């Protein structure tokens, strides 16, 4: 755990420069706008330890998989979001000496991420060369208002000398991915151009042939006036720049305004990229930095109006939850249904920037409540449009009749995970896709989605489950063999309770939706039946038989659902009895030892209880929670939030808060010693869930929002916004009760502690504690 980030309710602040923390800070202070993003690398040169990262959403490369033993059905590649051209670069030399903080004496340093207005600011003083002291201030952002662009304001001031500044703004496309399996470079140059105040590079990805044009336009300001530039264009392979030499007097501020844009062939034809890029650069530079920054502040103000959480009495918790919400909003805006949410977002390369089941299980609840309905709908459409490839994935594994297996990891719908126990066995991800459809319709009442798209996906998933089980003569029940549950510290197990439970639910839900669509829209239903060859009578008869006769492991003595067959054969040593020197076990133990242990990486049985809590009484939930949590090492960032929500439901406020703290400051305090690889973006949605579903007790009951809140002991109050079926509510939980404000023009009825409350349009009420 690190403890160098200062606490501030609206800012992330690093005071003082410690090179050992630099890669961690590059992750934490990352910027993005849903279309592009970047790590918090320095604009000027830095020869110290750094992970360069600039990313364009949806642009990827199929890196050939590295495996020791190829198996039939194995993915041929691991798709990766690519490190794209570095557009932030501004090389600075002073009297011929390059500015590089790894080689300077740094007197003061402050890095600040302003979450309220959406920009990164850095200030430092340093000594370069023979005692020459300079002061630098750099401000930059990725524009939310114009999501193909960004801007930088970089100001340098000589403090004790006058001399020659050499300023070289550049675009560098000769970049690498740290996680390249074969040390390949993934970009080829298409063309480039420079002019007096800017230039661009157009690059093409190998194999996938995405083209991206990255360009810049810049201005130099001294004494408040724009300098007439005499620049020296620089062109090299995959690189363009402009070199400017000018005199700077002691105390004189020299400011470089650099405007940049990234345009992709996803949105423009390759032949038109350059012309559109130039138009974009002209437009944004014409606005100017101050106007763009004002637009940025306005865009973020609108976002915070809908999704801010306010915590009174705990500045550290306040900072943490806003940081999580800020990163989620930077990563995905929902404007484009071809895009999704990678586990690291725009903050690093790990996990390839690809889509996992994290989106459906953890991110969907956040976007349902805090954004327009279309945002979550686009996440569902992303999967619908990839249904054909999900069916192809299942075919590769031997499944027939339109059965679909959605990939564990994907960019375009094809499976590209490079570990066999995940690719072939962690099939519970299929259930998360179906559950997200259920969750969306339950929340929005958008039943038209089921007829138009949802039912087709649900039947394909049900077909998969109906073929994946087999009949056991020994048990006289259906079984599910050779799987991996959410607990990835178990592989190739039989009858994982969560997977089998989810499979039966998926088949039942598919049948329920089929009946619903058939009754409400028979024309669309019949059209779908013909399209996919759905034999309703025969297929649903098999689903019912499986549901009725599915084996779900259960221990009568302990009265708990068993994670899988044989789980109780393991040595049952609790996590509290593990020496601290052996944690985390994924770094200290062999994989063989982990697989033979009883330890659980993340919620497995408890993930199922979280999904289907309405099916179980509190005693059942408590028995399972009290059995499995003490065996859980929480070595997945996705683990604490589910435990926090369930602990809150059980009235265990202390443990609910403990688990919340584990997830809320996971990256800010580098709990798992891995933040340098990037932030845990999808688990940040779990932090929001812990507050709203845990402390706020929010659920949807019979088409109404229901709240069963409690106030953590250390907080004076907390409040959050919820958008629900046209209403925007602010819920504030304090010591005197629950205050509900309806910020919209339509009345709504909610449940608070089980009692109905009518909240009129633009009105508020207090439900006393």
| Location of structure tokens 């179906």 | 434
Query: Helix, strand, coil: what percent of the chain each, to 5?
Result: 35, 30, 35
The beta strand positions in 578-716, using DSSP E, are 699-701, 704-707
**Alpha-carbon span 710 to 700, nearest angstrom:** 18
Asked whether 393 and 468 are in contact (CB, 8 A), the reply is no
| Location of structure tokens 């099916």 | 615
Strand 755-759: give its sheet, edge to edge: 699-701, 704-707, 748-752, 755-759
Asked whether 562 and 555 are in contact (CB, 8 A), the reply is yes
**Alpha-carbon span 2 to 323, nearest angstrom:** 16
**Alpha-carbon span 30 to 326, nearest angstrom:** 11
**Alpha-carbon span 365 to 336, nearest angstrom:** 19
Residue 161 CA neighbour count, 13 Å, CB half: 15
Strands 748-752 and 704-707, by their bridges, are parallel
| Eight-class DSSP state of 229 | P
DSSP SS3 for 245: strand
Is residue 488 annotated as part of the catalytic site, yes or no?
Answer: yes
Residue 562 CA neighbour count, 13 Å, CB half: 18
**Alpha-carbon span 505 to 217, nearest angstrom:** 56
Which conformational region is residue 630 in: left (phi greater than 0), alpha (psi within -120 to 50 degrees), or beta? alpha
Residue (of 655, 738, 691) closest to 314 by Cα position: 691
Residue (of 288, 291, 300, 169) closest to 239 by Cα position: 169
Asked whether 266 and 218 are in contact (CB, 8 A), the reply is no
The beta strand positions in 424-530, using DSSP E, are 470-472, 477-479
**Alpha-carbon span 745 to 149, nearest angstrom:** 35
**Alpha-carbon span 35 to 404, nearest angstrom:** 29
| Location of structure tokens 């973020």 | 300
Q: Which of 26, 488, 539, 629 is catalytic?
A: 488
**Alpha-carbon span 140 to 41, nearest angstrom:** 11
**Alpha-carbon span 486 to 632, nearest angstrom:** 12
Give the Å distances, CA to CA, from 270 to 46, 146, 338: 33, 20, 18
Residue (of 52, 683, 724) closest to 331 by Cα position: 683
Q: Please state the separation of Cα 675 from the chain's center in Å.
A: 14
- Compute and round to an integer the Cα radius of gyration of the chain: 27
Active-site positions read: 488
């Amino acid at each position: 755990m690190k403890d160098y980030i200062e606490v501030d309710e609206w800012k992330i602040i690093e005071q003082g420069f410690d090179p050992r923390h630099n890669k961690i800070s590059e992750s934490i202070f990352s910027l993005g706008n849903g279309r592009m993003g970047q790590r918090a690398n320095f604009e000027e040169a830095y020869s110290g330890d750094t992970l360069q990262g600039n990313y364009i959403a949806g642009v990827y490369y199929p890196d050939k998989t590295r495996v020791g033993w190829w198996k039939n059905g194995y993915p041929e590649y691991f798709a990766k979001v690519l490190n794209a051209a570095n557009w932030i670069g501004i090389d600075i030399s002073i009297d011929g000496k390059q500015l590089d903080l790894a080689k300077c004496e740094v007197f003061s340093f402050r890095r600040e991420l302003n979450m309220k207005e959406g920009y990164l600011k850095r200030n430092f003083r340093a000594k370069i060369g023979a005692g020459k002291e300079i002061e630098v201030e750099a401000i930059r952002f990725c524009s939310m208002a114009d999501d193909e662009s960004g801007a930088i304001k970089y100001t340098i001031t000589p403090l004790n000398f006058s001399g020659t500044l050499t300023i070289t703004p550049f675009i560098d496309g000769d970049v690498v991915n740290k996680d390249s399996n074969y040390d390949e470079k993934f970009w080829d140059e298409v063309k480039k151009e420079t002019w007096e105040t800017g230039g661009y590079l157009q690059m093409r990805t190998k194999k996938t042939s995405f083209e991206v044009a990255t360009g810049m336009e810049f201005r130099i300001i001294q004494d408040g006036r724009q300098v007439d530039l005499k620049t020296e264009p620089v062109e090299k392979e995959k690189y363009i720049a402009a070199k400017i030499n000018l005199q700077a007097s002691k105390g004189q501020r020299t400011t470089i305004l650099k405007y940049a844009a990234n345009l992709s062939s996803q949105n423009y034809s390759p032949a038109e990229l350059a012309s559109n890029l130039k138009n974009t650069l002209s437009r944004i530079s014409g606005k100017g930095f101050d106007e763009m920054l004002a637009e940025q502040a306005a865009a973020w103000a609108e976002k915070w109006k809908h999704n801010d959480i306010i915590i009174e009495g705990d500045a550290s918790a306040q900072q943490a939850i806003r940081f999580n919400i800020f990163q989620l909003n930077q990563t995905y805006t929902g404007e484009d249904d071809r895009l999704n949410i990678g586990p690291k977002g725009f903050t690093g390369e790990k996990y390839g920037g690809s889509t996992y089941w994290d989106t459906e299980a953890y991110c969907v609840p956040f976007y349902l409540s805090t954004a327009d309905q279309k945002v979550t709908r686009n996440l569902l459409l992303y999967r619908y449009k990839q249904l054909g490839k999900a069916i192809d994935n299942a075919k590769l594994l031997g499944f027939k009749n339109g059965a679909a297996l959605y990939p564990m990891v994907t960019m375009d719908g094809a499976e590209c995970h490079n570990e066999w126990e995940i690719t072939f066995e962690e099939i519970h991800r299929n259930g998360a896709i179906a559950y997200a459809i259920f969750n969306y319709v339950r929340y929005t009442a958008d039943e038209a989605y089921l007829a138009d798209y949802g039912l087709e996906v649900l039947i394909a998933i049900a077909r998969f489950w109906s073929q994946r089980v087999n009949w056991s003569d020994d048990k006289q029940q259906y079984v599910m063999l050779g799987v991996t549950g959410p607990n990835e510290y178990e592989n190739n197990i039989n009858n994982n309770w969560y997977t089998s439970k989810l499979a039966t639910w998926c088949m039942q839900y598919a049948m329920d939706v089929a009946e619903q669509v058939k009754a409400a829209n028979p024309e669309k239903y019949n059209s779908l039946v013909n399209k996919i060859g759905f034999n309703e009578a025969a297929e649903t008869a098999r689903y019912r038989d499986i549901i009725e006769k599915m084996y779900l492991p259960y221990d009568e003595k302990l009265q708990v659902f068993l994670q899988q067959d044989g789980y109780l054969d393991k040595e049952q040593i609790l996590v509290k009895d593990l020496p601290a020197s052996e944690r985390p076990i994924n770094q200290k133990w062999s994989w063989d030892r982990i697989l033979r242990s009883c330890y659980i990486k993340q919620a497995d049985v408890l993930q199922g209880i979280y999904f289907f809590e309405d099916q179980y009484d509190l005693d059942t939930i408590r028995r399972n929670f009290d059995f499995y949590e003490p065996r859980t090492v929480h070595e997945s960032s996705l683990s604490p939030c589910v435990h926090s929500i369930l602990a809150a439901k059980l009235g265990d406020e202390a443990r609910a808060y403990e688990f919340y703290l584990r997830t809320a400051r996971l990256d800010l305090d580098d709990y798992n010693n891995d933040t340098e690889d990037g932030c845990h973006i999808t688990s940040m949605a779990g932090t929001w869930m812990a507050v709203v579903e845990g402390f706020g007790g929010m659920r949807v009951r019979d088409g109404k929002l229901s709240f069963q809140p409690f106030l953590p002991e250390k907080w004076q109050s907390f409040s959050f916004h919820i958008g629900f079926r046209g209403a925007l509510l602010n819920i504030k939980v304090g010591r005197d009760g629950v205050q509900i404000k309806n910020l919209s023009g339509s009345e709504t009825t909610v449940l608070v502690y089980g009692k109905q409350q009518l909240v009129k349009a633009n009105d508020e009420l207090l439900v006393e504690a």
